[in-house]
């Protein structure tokens, strides 16, 4: 095993120690289990991997006609109704129609003065007494409250959070009984050791289940204050991290979002040891939308600004941009470890940058997750990927590019995505993803490639299975026409025991490989490359190495693969690994 892999594995232990707090309420009375559940017996030694693709009729996932319909208007109208709507300069009204602040900025109470008699017991604040519901809209799970012109639970919940922050117990909790909460502006918990928690939640819970706590975000202004929960310190304390904030046991419905400035259903900024656990988040607009009309800049759950912690037992369904988005601000904050585990990300579909899980930061573990049916509206070239690991151009608060480093993906399944199952890339010439490890990853029925690496170094793919994809099962390419020929692209890649079969479902008949290599310093050790049926796909070759042209137009240079080593590979129904060809 490569020394780089040993470094990554050593680092994993440190990250797991950092985020190993017990998962409260994650294994209660429900028999349902979160996360990805592979078929019994599936492993690298599975005796008949071809049976996974039986009966050879499954197609790669691509857009249908409904997905490609244009949006009839350039932007969807705001759904805001009532006194919470913007009244001056596009700002939300807040509690008072004369103010432009969020509720927690304009509360009449502060600290313990916010606590209502009888609402606090043993460090737990019951949120219900704070809701200030009009008599005609009593608290319940009835979704008719969404259409009310007089209900906004945001200001009352902000007071309950202020009350909890004043308690002297080590952990303060705001408890949300089962029912439906209407948020016209997001909750902004920015206190240490604070928990927001609903009743125990099962992954099988139906939307609006009356036994669960549902936060429905109906933003007063989707561009200004979207989403359900936004975590960051107030401006005067912006550089002080929030610590050990926990968000648990909620259903979240997002009804609208931004089309200009990116934001999320749950956005965690500069937060250390923070957790999002047992959450089901759905994009649920009030009327049916084609993907082109969705709010282009609405992500699901974001850890940004150097945040670290855990995203555990989460389902994100239907948001337009990124289901889970892990970002950072290099040079401004340190980037502690992030663990994403036992999650399902599905139906991520929109007009800009749609992807199941997007990683543009360092020190990340993703394990036991399933990501499927992501689709970028109208294209498979630059989005719709299951997993997207990419460097990011400097912007905002940083002048330093954000680079994924020390990223481990374990025992996860990426399937039926419009782009590639796994994509690694960089828009920059001088940096690329580094120290990336995929262990026990499965990639199937994606519209493009199973694994597509356009940029990366010190990358290990161990026990990878890739089948039924539209193009190659694995494509390693240093080819670029957007950057100089000297740009850092793909090298030092190891594949150990890959199983790659029945790919190239969308390619024309001919001899197409399961693995195509246009890169140097690639090692493939063992594994099986197969075509299980002569009529299934066009993967009639096993491994193909080709030279490539790279560089800007008029400045391209021809490169030949060097120092590639292929050994112990079994080829079944395909040609043996091919020698280098250079037919550009």
pLDDT attached to residue 584: 76
Banded pLDDT at 582 (limits 50, 70, 90): confident
pLDDT attached to residue 356: 98
pLDDT attached to residue 266: 98
pLDDT attached to residue 2: 38
pLDDT attached to residue 224: 83
Banded pLDDT at 23 (limits 50, 70, 90): very low
pLDDT attached to residue 408: 98
The more confidently predicted of residues 248 and 31 is: 248
Q: Residues 213-239: pLDDT tens digits?
A: 999 999 998 888 899 999 988 765 667
Banded pLDDT at 396 (limits 50, 70, 90): low
Banded pLDDT at 8 (limits 50, 70, 90): very low
Q: Residues 114-170: pLDDT tens digits?
A: 999 999 999 999 999 999 999 999 999 999 999 999 999 999 999 999 999 999 999
Percent above pLDDT 70 for the chain: 86
Closest Cα to residue 325, out of 297, 287, 347, 351? 297
pLDDT attached to residue 31: 63
Q: Residues 335-380: pLDDT tens digits?
A: 579 999 999 999 999 888 899 999 999 999 999 999 999 998 866 5
pLDDT above 90 (res 94): no
Q: Is 532 exposed, middle or buried (0-12, 13-18, 19+ CB in 10 A)?
A: buried
Q: Is 134 exposed, middle or buried (0-12, 13-18, 19+ CB in 10 A)?
A: exposed
How many residues are present in the chain?
A: 584
The pLDDT of 382-398, averaged and rounded, is 83
Number of helical H runs and strand E runs in the chain: 2, 41
Query: What is the distance in angstroms between the CA of the first residue and the CA of the last residue of the chain?
Result: 34
pLDDT attached to residue 157: 96
pLDDT above 90 (res 400): no
Q: Residues 28-59: pLDDT tens digits?
A: 345 689 999 876 655 545 568 888 887 889 99
Look at the alpha carbons of 92, 94, 98, 100 in this order and tell me if their dihedral is positive or negative.
negative
The pLDDT of 293-306, averaged and rounded, is 92
**Chain position carrying tokens 């240093």:** 478
Q: Residues 73-88: pLDDT tens digits?
A: 766 567 788 888 887 6
pLDDT attached to residue 574: 94
Q: Residues 249-279: pLDDT tens digits?
A: 999 999 999 988 889 999 999 899 999 999 9
Asked if residues 306 and 329 have their Cβ atoms less than 8 Å apart, the reply is yes
Beta-strand runs (E) in 347-427: 349-350, 355-359, 364-367, 370-372, 375-376, 385-390, 405-410, 413-415, 422-425
Distance CA(359)–CA(476), nearest Å, equals 19
| Phi, psi for 122 (deg, rounded to 5) | 55, 45
Q: Residues 471-488: pLDDT tens digits?
A: 999 999 999 999 999 999
pLDDT above 70 (res 302): yes
pLDDT attached to residue 101: 65
**pLDDT, the chain, mean:** 88
pLDDT attached to residue 328: 78
pLDDT attached to residue 89: 64
The secondary structure of 414-481 as a DSSP string is EES-SS-SEEEE-S-SS---EEEEEES-EEES-SS-SEEESSEEEEEEES-EEES-SS-SEEEE---S
Distance CA(98)–CA(167), nearest Å, equals 31
The pLDDT of 389-403, averaged and rounded, is 80
pLDDT attached to residue 76: 59
pLDDT above 80 (res 547): yes
Banded pLDDT at 289 (limits 50, 70, 90): confident
The secondary structure of 273-336 as a DSSP string is SEEEEEEEEEE--SS---GGGS-TTEEEEEEETT--EEEEEEEEES-SSEEEEE---TTTS---
Q: Residues 405-460: pLDDT tens digits?
A: 999 999 999 999 999 999 999 999 999 999 999 999 999 999 999 999 999 999 99
């Amino acid at each position: 095993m490569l020394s780089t892999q040993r470094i990554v594995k050593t680092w994993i232990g440190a990250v797991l120690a950092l985020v190993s707090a017990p998962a409260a309420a994650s294994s209660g009375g429900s028999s349902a289990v979160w996360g990805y559940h592979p078929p019994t017996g599936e492993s690298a030694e599975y005796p008949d991997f071809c049976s996974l693709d039986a009966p050879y009729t499954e197609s790669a996932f691509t857009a249908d006609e409904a997905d490609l319909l244009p949006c009839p208007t350039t932007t969807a109208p705001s759904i805001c109704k009532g006194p919470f709507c913007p009244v001056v300069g596009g700002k939300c009204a807040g509690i008072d129609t004369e103010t432009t602040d969020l509720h927690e900025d304009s509360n009449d109470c502060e600290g313990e003065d916010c606590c209502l008699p009888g609402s606090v017991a043993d460090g737990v604040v019951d949120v219900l007494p704070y809701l200030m519901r009009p008599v005609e809209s009593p608290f319940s799970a009835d979704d008719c409250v969404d259409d009310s012109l007089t209900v906004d639970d945001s200001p009352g919940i902000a007071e309950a959070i202020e009350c909890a922050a004043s308690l002297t117990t080590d952990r303060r909790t705001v408890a949300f009984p089962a029912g439906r909460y209407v948020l016209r502006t997001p909750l902004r918990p920015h206190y240490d050791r604070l928990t927001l928690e609903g009743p125990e939640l099962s992954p099988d819970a139906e939307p609006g289940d009356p036994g669960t706590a549902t936060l429905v975000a109906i933003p007063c202004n989707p561009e200004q204050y979207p989403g359900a929960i936004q975590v960051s310190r107030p401006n005067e304390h912006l550089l002080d991290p929030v610590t050990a904030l926990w968000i648990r046991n909620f259903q979240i419905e997002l009804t609208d979002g931004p089309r200009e400035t990116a934001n999320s259903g749950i956005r965690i900024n500069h937060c250390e040891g923070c957790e999002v656990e047992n959450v089901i988040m759905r994009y649920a607009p009030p009327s049916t939308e084609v993907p082109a009309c969705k709010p282009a800049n609405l992500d699901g759950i974001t850890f940004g600004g150097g945040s670290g912690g855990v995203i555990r037992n989460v389902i994100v369904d239907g948001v337009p941009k990124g289901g889970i988005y892990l970002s950072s601000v290099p040079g401004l904050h340190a980037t502690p470890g992030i663990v994403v585990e036992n999650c399902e990300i599905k139906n991520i579909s929109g007009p800009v940058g749609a992807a199941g899980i997007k990683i543009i930061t360092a020190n990340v573990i993703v394990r036991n997750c399933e990501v499927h049916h992501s689709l970028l509206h109208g294209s498979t070239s630059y989005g719709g990927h299951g997993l997207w690991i990419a460097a990011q151009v400097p912007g905002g608060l940083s002048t330093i590019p954000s680079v994924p480093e020390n990223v481990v993906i374990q025992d996860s399944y990426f399937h039926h995505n419009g782009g590639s199952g796994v994509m690694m890339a960089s828009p920059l010439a001088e940096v690329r993803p580094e120290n990336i490890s995929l262990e026990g990853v499965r990639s199937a029925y994606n519209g493009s490639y199973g694994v597509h690496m356009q940029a990366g170094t010190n990358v290990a793919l161990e026990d990878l299975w890739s089948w039924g994809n539209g193009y190659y099962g694995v494509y390693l390419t240093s080819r670029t026409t957007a950057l100089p020929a000297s740009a850092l692209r793909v090298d030092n890649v190891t594949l150990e025991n890959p199983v790659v079969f029945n790919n190239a479902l969308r390619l024309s008949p001919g001899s197409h490989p399961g693995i195509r290599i246009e890169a140097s310093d690639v090692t493939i050790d063992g594994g099986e490359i197969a075509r299980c049926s002569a009529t299934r796909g066009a993967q009639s070759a096993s491994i193909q190495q080709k030279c490539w042209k790279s560089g800007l137009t008029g400045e391209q240079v021809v490169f030949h693969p060097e120092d590639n080593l292929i050994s112990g590979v079994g080829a079944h129904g395909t040609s043996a690994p091919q020698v280098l060809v250079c037919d550009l």
